[in-house]
Amino acid sequence: MKISSLIVAAGSGERFGSQVPKQYLSLGGRMVVEHSINAFRSHAEIADICLVVSPKHTEYFSKIDIPHVMGGATRSESVLAGVQALKSQGADYVLIHDAARPFISHPVIDSVVDALKSGKKGVIPVVACVDTIKTGGEAVTGTVDRATLNRVQTPQGFHIETLLAAYDQCNTTYTDDAQALEAMGVEVGMVVGCEDTFKITTKDDYKRAQQMVEKIRVGQGFDVHQLIDGDGVILGGVKIPCNMMLKGHSDADVVLHALVDAMLGAMGKGDIGQHFSPSDERWKGADSTMFVKQAMTWMEEGGFLLQNADITIICEAPKIGPHRDAIHAQIAKLLKLAPQDVNIKATTTEKLGFTGRGEGIAAQAVVCMRG
């Protein structure tokens, strides 16, 4: 009994209405359709997978290493093209799955496969209708007994020959494949689906999907600069007048450097020296706020959302207390965060070590991002 999977991805996503078709949008670092492909690929009972695509989407599906066939104008046409291809490769059963349902899980696939193994010619996963259902347009015309209703999902499992015979007899298009068997009078079994297997149809669905794959990301940074004679140190973008300055290639703002390293850490993007090399003339005497601004741009481009930042300045002098509010305000502004989402701490090392001897200033930063 050879069971294959057919993932239909040839639709144009009109209701979604994005430039990149919904099944190829990015979701947690891979395309929507790749989530489904992975679920079937990693399932022991699935012998092979075929992807049904549209010739209009070459730039997207060509990035995926998987056999494909060209679909048609309707979902039924797309399914038929794929099922015929799988049959010619010796498949006995097929699990037809919408590419736009990225959160298909092994337990649901198991249920469909088990029902086919028990002799069913067709089986669909369903979930209960929890809302009361009304008919009508501008006014209610009636209430439907929701206990008799089921919301249909995929993958839908079929005995391939039965499905092809059913499609042979029909000349209408269906929104799911079970309808072809129903029209022929073949019993279609139902198994319990899962709310997570929802289909991405609208932008709200995509938002829900993004929230499901979102991670909490933590980054930490540490930096040290040497203190020498001068007319003031720059900490967190604020110049503190005193008879010292911090030595460095840029403005040596040890606080912002630790902060940028924490941001890069949360994004998995290396460290500040890799992006702004200390040997690069462009950064000589540079205002370190520009490093933070660049990190903010990378964050926005990568779809990361900064939650909060916690910074510790470690030095004996200058005293941070009188300047804490200014540093706090400047960093909150740079990070576009509310005041309560930025925390500035200062500590000495009880006259111990290089900071204790006043040879340098150290700073630590921790940030939290979602994305």
Q: Is 15 in the site for ligand CTP (CB under 6 A)?
A: yes
Residue 292, phi then psi, degrees to nearest 5:
-65, -45
Q: Which is nearer to ligand CTP, 74 or 348 (CB)?
A: 74
14 binds ligand CTP (CB under 6 A): yes
Nearer to ligand CTP, 152 or 317 (CB): 152
Quote the DSSP letter at residue 155.
Answer: P
Of 85, 100, 108, 227, the one binding ligand CTP (CB under 6 A) is 100
**List of E strands, the chain:** 3-8, 26-27, 30-31, 48-53, 68-70, 93-98, 122-128, 133-136, 140-144, 150-152, 156-159, 189-192, 216-229, 233-235, 238-240, 244-247, 305-314, 342-347, 360-370
Span interacting with ligand CTP, options 2-10, 203-211, 252-260, 302-310, rule CB under 6 A: 2-10
Nearest by Cα to 309 from 368, 235, 238, 224:
368
My answer on whether omega of the bond before 155 falls inside 30° of 0, hence cis, is yes
Residue 367 to residue 370: CA distance in whole angstroms: 10
Q: Which one of 64, 66, 74, 341 is in contact with ligand CTP (CB under 6 A)?
A: 74
Q: How far is the CB of 173 from ligand CTP (least distance, A)?
A: 9
Interface of this chain with ligand CTP, residues 19 to 48, rule: CB under 6 A: 23
* Contact string (CB under 6 A) for ligand CTP, positions 180-219, x = contact: -------------------x-x------------------
162 binds ligand CTP, rule: CB under 6 A: no
Q: Out of 56, 63, 73, 128, name the contact with ligand CTP by CB under 6 A.
A: 73
Q: Collect all residues with Cβ–Cβ distance below 8 Å to 241 and sequence separation of at least 6.
A: 231, 232
Query: Minimum distance from CB of 98 to ligand CTP (Å)?
Result: 4
Closest distance of CB 59 from ligand CTP, Å: 16
Tokens at residue 359, please? 């040879």
Buried b (16+ CB within 10 A) or exposed e, 326-348: bbbbbbbebbebeeebbebebee
Contacts made by residues 166-172, CB under 8 angstroms, sequence distance 24+: 167/76, 167/79, 167/80, 167/83
Only segment of 14-22, 179-187, 212-220, 253-261 that touches ligand CTP (CB under 6 A): 14-22
Beta strands across the sheet bearing 216-229: 244-247, 216-229, 360-370, 305-314, 342-347
- Strand-pairing partners, residue 365, are 221, 311
Of positions 39, 71, 225, 259, contacts ligand CTP by CB under 6 A: 71
Q: Does 229 bind ligand CTP (CB under 6 A)?
A: no
Of 34, 45, 98, 316, the residue at the interface with ligand CTP (CB under 6 A) is 98
Among residues 59 and 145, whose Cβ is nearest to ligand CTP? 59
Nearer to ligand CTP, 100 or 260 (CB): 100
Residue closer to ligand CTP (CB basis): 50 or 369: 50
Where in 127-146 is the site for ligand CTP (CB under 6 A)?
none
- Residues forming the site for ligand CTP (CB under 6 A): 8-16, 23, 52, 71-75, 78, 98-100, 199, 201
